[in-house]
């Protein structure tokens, strides 16, 4: 099939898919009460989720980066591995990775159509699958792609929560919980303990739990209690409190690989064939390959001649952090990085269910000027003017510009004028809205 025909086929499939409810755009506070729709789809599709072994990844932040690191390391070990992620930044294909490559348009279109046909059958039969959502279908389509590709292992990233997430039909031999912070409280609960109970819902009898959370942490205690109830082993990282995000992710994935090695899993081809899988796989080239768009992504944005004033470009960082503890870690790591100095000018958008006061309090310790804009996958964003007013109440300088592209222009002008750098943050949807423009102007 030609590239244009493949693109058209995917466009047609997505148009049909978009008629379904999209949980990512649904008002917060509404959530399904069971996995029956997803299980019905799986049965109608021949249970593709049972065709591969899985590593299941939950947590408030870092799920995507950890999943990509697991994938890159096991590709290095010669495994036939895939990865399922959400949300995407530029194209829906980013959600489904096969052997380290985004799924092709034709394969994804075919899988989506196959799942939608099963959905229509469920509607005619009035079975649970008639309640399937957009996320159910795209998740089921990913599992069909993995089954068709004959993959041995898949890294499956949770979409939201864990216990009731569409992905929780898989049996994750290793369940990873990266961390726990207050987020999606209308759905998951108003305390870290309540959120931990939802996220540890991916843990099943016979699996191993891997986490950064200490046993004496309030959320870590919940994880340990559930692991004890199920008779599951728990593996924990042991890091300094000021460890970087990258070091934390590497330590977490290193635990996973060392466990796989102890279980007898080995490298397949190449000079290391037969060697046990282990943390040694996380060499610099593997870590570099695992970098994802919109996660600590660095560019040099070329300035127009009128703004140069001795500088050809301004440094720009894009990161979709949207909870206070994560933006704190991101900014702490950025300020340690070489080549980033001077005033930080931030372009910020936040969905309406995010902790705006907490997020802005962290930003205020690092940012000299903020341009607030609007971009949200849920369709419900904090108004730019509302964020700017909150920022001003903290004694900070900023402005509101609802249009993301105009907001980016304002931030670049400010950074050029001050000899500083630009941070785009608060939402992966904001990163997605601006990234193509940034790429076109990147030096």
pLDDT in the model for residue 303: 92
Task: Please indicate, yes or no, whether residues 257 and 382 belong to a single structural domain of this protein.
Answer: no
DSSP output for 9-67: HHHHHHHHHTTS--GGGSPTT---S-SHHHHHHHHHTT-GGGSSEEEEEE-SS-HHHHH
Q: Both 326 and 182 in a single domain?
A: no
Residue range 315-341: mean pLDDT, rounded: 87
User: Which of 289, 309, 331 is at the close of a domain?
Assistant: 289
pLDDT band at 189 (very low <50, low <70, confident <90, very high): very low
Q: List the CATH number of the domain containing 331.
A: 3.90.190.20
- Counting residues of the chain whose pLDDT is more than 70, the rounded percentage is 93
The two three-digit tokens of residue 194, written as one number:
């309540």
Separation between Cα atoms, residue 368 and residue 386, nearest integer Å: 18
Is 129 in the same domain as 253? yes
pLDDT band at 277 (very low <50, low <70, confident <90, very high): very high
Query: For residue 112, what is the domain's CATH number?
Result: 3.40.1190.10
301 shares its domain with 275: no
- Beta pairing partners, 248: none
Please report the pLDDT score of residue 325 as a whole number: 85
Indicate if 272 and 406 belong to the same structural domain: no
Task: Please say whether the beta carbons of 211 and 63 come within 8 A.
Answer: no
Residues 249, 358 within the same domain? no
Domain count, the chain: 2
Domain final residue, candidates 263, 289, 315: 289
Q: What is the C-alpha to C-alpha distance for residues 207 and 368, in angstroms, rounded to an integer? A: 47
Average pLDDT for 332-346: 85
Domain residues for the domain of 418 are 297-441
Residues 284 and 185 reside in one and the same domain = yes
Q: Are 106 and 2 in contact (CB under 8 A)?
A: no
Single residue among 267, 289, 311 that ends a domain in this structure: 289
Do 131 and 177 lie in a common domain? yes
Name every residue whose Cβ is closer than 8 Å to that of residue 117 and which is 6 or more positions away in sequence: none
The reported pLDDT for the residue numbered 187 is: 46
Q: Both 319 and 241 in a single domain? A: no
Q: Which residues contact 284 (CB under 8 A, 6 or more apart)?
A: none
Same domain, 308 and 167: no
Token pair 């898919």 in the structure block, residue: 17
In sequence order, what are the beta bridge partners of 316? Answer: 299, 422
Does one domain contain both 319 and 240? no
DSSP state of 104: P
Q: 46 and 80: one domain?
A: yes
């Amino acid at each position: 099939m030609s590239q244009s025909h493949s693109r058209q086929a995917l466009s047609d499939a997505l148009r049909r898919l978009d008629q379904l409810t999209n949980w990512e755009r649904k008002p917060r506070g509404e959530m399904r009460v069971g996995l029956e729709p997803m299980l019905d789809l799986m049965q109608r599709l021949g249970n593709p989720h049972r065709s591969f072994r899985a590593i299941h990844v939950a947590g408030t932040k870092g799920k995507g980066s950890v999943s990509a690191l697991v994938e890159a390391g096991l590709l290095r070990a010669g495994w036939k591995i895939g990865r399922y992620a959400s949300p995407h930044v530029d194209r829906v294909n980013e959600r489904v990775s096969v052997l380290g490559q985004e799924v092709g348009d034709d394969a994804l279109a075919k899988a989506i159509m196959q799942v939608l046909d099963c959905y229509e059958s469920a509607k005619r039969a009035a079975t649970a699958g008639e309640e399937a959502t957009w996320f159910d279908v795209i998740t089921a389509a990913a599992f069909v792609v993995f089954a068709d590709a004959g993959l041995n292992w898949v890294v499956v990233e949770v979409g939201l929560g864990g216990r009731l997430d569409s992905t929780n039909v898989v049996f994750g031999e290793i369940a990873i919980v990266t961390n726990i912070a207050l987020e999606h409280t209308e759905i998951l609960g108003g305390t870290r303990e309540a959120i931990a109970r939802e996220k540890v819902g991916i843990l099943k009898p016979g699996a191993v739990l891997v986490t950064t959370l200490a046993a004496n942490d309030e959320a870590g205690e919940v994880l340990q209690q559930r692991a004890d109830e199920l008779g599951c082993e728990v593996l924990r990282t042991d890091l300094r409190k000021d460890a970087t995000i990258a070091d934390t992710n590497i330590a977490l994935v290193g635990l996973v690989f060392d466990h796989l090695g102890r279980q007898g899993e080995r490298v397949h081809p190449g000079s290391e064939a037969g060697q046990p899988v282990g943390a040694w796989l996380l060499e610099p080239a593997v870590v570099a390959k695992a970098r994802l768009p919109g996660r600590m992504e660095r560019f040099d944005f070329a300035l127009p001649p009128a703004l140069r004033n001795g500088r050809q470009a301004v440094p720009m960082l894009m990161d979709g952090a949207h909870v206070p503890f994560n933006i704190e870690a991101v900014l702490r790591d950025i300020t340690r990085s070489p080549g980033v100095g001077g005033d930080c000018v931030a372009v910020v958008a936040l969905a309406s269910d995010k902790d705006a006061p907490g997020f802005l309090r962290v930003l205020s310790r690092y940012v000299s000027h903020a341009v607030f804009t609007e971009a949200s996958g849920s369709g419900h964003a904090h108004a730019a003017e509302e964020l700017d007013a909150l920022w001003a109440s903290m004694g900070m300088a900023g402005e509101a510009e609802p249009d993301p592209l105009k907001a980016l222009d304002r931030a670049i002008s400010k950074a050029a004028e001050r000899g500083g750098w630009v941070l785009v943050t608060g939402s992966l949807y904001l990163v997605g809205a601006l990234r193509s423009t940034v790429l076109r102007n990147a030096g």
